[in-house]
Structure 1
Amino acid sequence: MSRFLDIETNVPVIVLTGVNNEIVGNQAVKAGAQDFLVKGQFDGKLLGRAIRYAIQRHKEVQKLEETKRELTINERRIVKAQQLAGFGNWEMDLVSNEMIWTEEIYKIFNFQPGSTATGLSDYVGYAHYEDRESLENFFDSAMKDGKLHKVEHRIIIDGTSTKWLAIHAQVFFDDITQRMLLVGGIQDITERKLNEQLIMEQNINRQTTVLKESVLQDMNFHIRTPLSSIVNLLYLIENSAVTGQQKTMIEDLKTSVDDLSLMVSNMLNFSMLISQNLKPENEEIHIKDFLQSLRKIVLIKADNAKVKVDFNFFGRFARKKSFSTPKKLPKLYII
């Protein structure tokens, strides 16, 4: 019987036997037959009813088998989806506080399925010591008010590494077993937490870069501008009535200022070079204001050189605006 049904799976079977033994008939049905008849103890009407019943029962069995296959496939898909998402289900008896984990939760904790105790106290013990109090409060609240609760916490894996988990839970009454349960799920969110930390560090680095830029711009302005003024003053003094000894001192001073200017320029340029993502911030300036400042310096130098200079600019041009980095403009004055 079994061999026949293994080959002809879609054929309903009625066993005809000459042995009037109910045990034999039941064994035939258990083996896969839809019915059994004893020879000489049935007529055409009974045979027809047995055939209709066999066909109907065979169809129902096929539907059940198909449903079973679909459930198996769906279960495998759910397990696979949970594995990909790092997600597992659990339930806990509110009387004994004993928990039942799905296989994926064991994998999250790096345990072999069924290899460790899964009571409430055990679960809390696996948590990072800084998160245990909040985790205990989470379970207490979920068991008391029956509402859905969520919390994120860390666990220690093998005493060396840390994982982040998101856990949720809610009270559930099982009508079949007549038990009050706390049911929920756990998801491994370590990768998400690492990404959040990376984004936070990038924001900090971005803010640090902005701060570096501001500091370097201020240094550039507050160091180079006084040096520019010193150079201009030395030029004016050099072209005034001075003694030979004073001229020698002025030359020495100019050499020192030139060396200092070179060193400061190299230092600031190197600082700008090693600072990442520093970009000049252009601001709107009025050309008239810039030209007026430049005119004063030109006229002073022309007067000391006893040169007549006519420095004028047209009104329409002076009303124009441009974009530059104002703190770098003083370097243009060293002419």
Structure 2
Amino acid sequence: MDLNDLSYKKLHILLVEDEPLIALHEKIELQNRGYSVEHALSGEEAIELIRNDAFPFDLILMDIDLGEGLDGTETAEKILEISDIPIVFLSSHTEPEIINKTEKITYYGYVVKNSGMVIIEASIKMAMKLYKAKVELTETKIKIQENEARLLEAQLAAKVGSWQTNLSNMEVIWSEETYHIFELDSKTFKASHEAFLDYVHPEDRIQVDEAFKNSFSIDSFNTLEHRIITSKGNLKYVEERWRIIRDIENIPILAIGTCQDITKRKKDEDEIKRQLNEKEILLKEVHHRIKNNILSLESLLSLHASSTNIPEARNAINESITQVQSIRVLYDKLLMNDTYQEVSVKLYMDSLIESLLLVFPESKRIKLEKSISDFNLPSKVVINIGIIFNELITNIFKYAFQGIADPRLFIQLIKSENTITLTIKDNGIGFNEQENRDKSPGFGLTIVRMLTEQLKGTFISENDHGNRSVLTFTISLDK
């Protein structure tokens, strides 16, 4: 039977009537109106037809007085135990005691015989509408129960409970999982806002209560993490998410939200923080030891430089000192950073230039102009830049300004998208004359070219009213 087809002309009706002539008349009338009709002379016969499922009946017209054997109400009770079929009682009795016998039975109409076929057919249609409404209501209830069951399973799996608070009287409704989070029995515990606050950690209680009250003026979702102490004394972390519902006058009337147990997540986060902190402390200790070793090496080289009277040896040692200093400066900057993967190029270069100026006292007469952009690079890239820069600046300080009355030095380090460019320009004697004065120029330049290849870049050095050196290389855009 299609309950959406309200023409009802295809309905299959079981007529239970013990008077053959009356039954024949009613059957013919119904058939003339398009209904399919089967007749049973007794209640027992009707029950047997339903039990055997010989015909898929859509509705039963039931006489109450069926002679000997079961009467109509008794027959209806037994049929409804077998199958849920809408029943309309058709009887000549109007006495209250007879009608009252039907009250304990689920039926869909009571029609007095001889009311006419128009009334009977109207009763059939109304019965089918009522039955359809009942079926739809039952299906809706089943779906609601299924959804509630799925919601309960989901809440149990995710450890998420739900709640709502009536803001007019502060009455609270909790879902079963919310009780479970607080380790409370829903059958014995009376949920309320005050009772909830009793289980909030004492140190969080004021914050939680104020956050809830302040949310009355907020239209968006509210989120708050806090601690609770359950009825069994266990400490838990929960995340509350809620919003305020308002009436047509914009007055807050209801708060609805969720409560999620995030204890495991918080413990995992704390453990990760602890491990990261341990690694950070260990890494800092390693860097400090390396830095101290570098300082010891730098001091040892300085002692050797001051103890020799041979200018060539002293110059060679001083060059080594500047190289060591560039590494020390890098470690200084690494120790200042929260991360040891990248270094501020500007901070590093400024410190390195300052260190080189201290090593070469004659640099005081040089007019220095610098333009260094502020960006980060990986430490392994920065150390290569530092060594290249150290070699070029050392050569300039040693050789470029001999005989130059007004020495000038320009240093620029910039980043354009993923291209890094280091430019060093002086107004010294130029490359050729400088090379002639340098008895061994090849080693420093060899280091520069090797490190340039490692950076996969290019290096040029040319005369331009002095000497101009340019290092260019690219990095990944995510650096």
Which bin holds the TM-score, normalised by the shorter protein?
0.5 to 0.7
Amino acid at match of 1:32: T
| Deviation at residue 74 of structure 1 after TM alignment | 1.7
1:122-148 CA-partner distances (Å, limit 9, x unpaired): 2222111111111221233245x3745
Q: Aligned match of 1:8 in 48, 71, 83?
A: 83
Aligned to 1:79: 152
> Structure 1 27/181 Cα, relative in aligned 2: closer, same or farther at 3 Å?
farther
1:65-114 CA-partner distances (Å, limit 9, x unpaired): 21221122122222222223322333334454343322221111011113
Aligned to 1:208: 281
Amino acid at match of 1:37: V
Aligned to 2:130: 57
Aligned to 2:110: 36
Distance 1:55 1:27 in 2: 22
| Deviation at residue 34 of structure 1 after TM alignment | 1.8
What is the 5 A alignment of 1:260-271? none
- The TM-score with structure 2 as length reference comes to 0.44
| Deviation at residue 223 of structure 1 after TM alignment | 4.6
Amino acid at match of 2:82: I
Distance 1:49 1:111 in 2: 55
Unaligned runs of 5+ in 2: 1-75, 305-339, 342-378, 395-438, 455-479
Distance 1:140 1:34 in 2: 52
Distance 1:213 1:197 in 2: 24
> Structure 1 35/84 Cα, relative in aligned 2: closer, same or farther at 3 Å?
same
- The TM-score with structure 1 as length reference comes to 0.60
- Judge conservation of contact 1:13–1:35 (CA < 8 Å) in 2: yes
Judge which range, 116-125 or 24-33, deviates more. 24-33
- Judge conservation of contact 2:240–2:257 (CA < 8 Å) in 1: no
Aligned to 2:293: 220
Distance 1:173 1:6 in 2: 47
1:50-69 CA-partner distances (Å, limit 9, x unpaired): 22222332222222221221
Note if 1:170 corresponds to 2:244. Answer: yes
Note if 1:186 corresponds to 2:315. Answer: no
**Larger RCO (CA under 8 A, 6+ residues apart):** 1
- Judge conservation of contact 2:236–2:261 (CA < 8 Å) in 1: no
Judge which range, 50-59 or 94-103, deviates more. 94-103
> Structure 1 209/83 Cα, relative in aligned 2: closer, same or farther at 3 Å?
same
Unaligned runs of 5+ in 1: 232-276, 293-310, 325-335
Aligned to 1:97: 170
DSSP 3-state at the match of 2:189 = coil
**Structure whose residues are more often helix by fraction:** 1
Distance 1:7 1:165 in 2: 51
| Deviation at residue 153 of structure 1 after TM alignment | 1.5
DSSP 3-state at the match of 1:128 = coil
- Judge conservation of contact 1:126–1:155 (CA < 8 Å) in 2: yes
- Judge conservation of contact 1:169–1:185 (CA < 8 Å) in 2: no
Superposed CA RMSD in Å reads 4.2
Q: Aligned match of 2:214 in 119, 141, 149?
A: 141
Distance 2:168 2:185 in 1: 26
- Judge conservation of contact 1:14–1:36 (CA < 8 Å) in 2: yes
Note if 1:196 corresponds to 2:325. Answer: no
Distance 2:168 2:133 in 1: 41
Count of aligned residue pairs for this structure pair: 257
Larger Rg: 2
Note if 1:112 corresponds to 2:185. Answer: yes
Aligned to 2:204: 131
Amino acid at match of 1:34: Y
Aligned to 1:253: none
Distance 2:102 2:155 in 1: 42
Judge which range, 79-88 or 108-117, deviates more. 79-88
DSSP 3-state at the match of 2:165 = strand
Q: Aligned match of 1:153 in 226, 229, 252?
A: 226
